[in-house]
Amino acid sequence: MAHTLKILDIEKVTHDVKKFTFEKPKGYEFEPGQATEVAIDKDGWRGKKRPFTFTSLNEDEHLEFVIKIYPEHDGVTEQIGKLETGDSFIIDDAWGTIQYDGEGVFLAGGAGVTPFIAILRDLHKNGEIGDNKLIFSNKTENDIILQEEFSKILGDNFINVITDEKPDGNHIFLDGFIDKEFLESQIDDFKQPFYICGPQPFNNAMMKYLKELGANPDALVFEE
Strands of 63-68's sheet in order across = 50-53, 35-40, 88-91, 3-14, 17-22, 63-68
Q: What CA dihedral angle connects 161, 166, 171 and 172, to 10 degrees?
A: -20
Domains and CATH numbers, the chain: 3-91 (2.40.30.10), 105-222 (3.40.50.80)
- pLDDT tens track for 26-39: 999 999 999 999 99
* Residues 6+ away with beta carbon under 8 Å from 44: none
Q: What CA dihedral angle connects 119, 125, 126 and 130, to 10 degrees?
A: 70
| pTM beyond 0.85 | yes
Collect the ranges in the chain with pLDDT lower than 70: 73-74, 167-173, 175, 219, 221-224
Taking the C-alpha atoms of residue 143 and residue 68, their distance in angstroms, rounded to an integer, is 10
Distance of CA 90 to the CA centre of its chain: 21
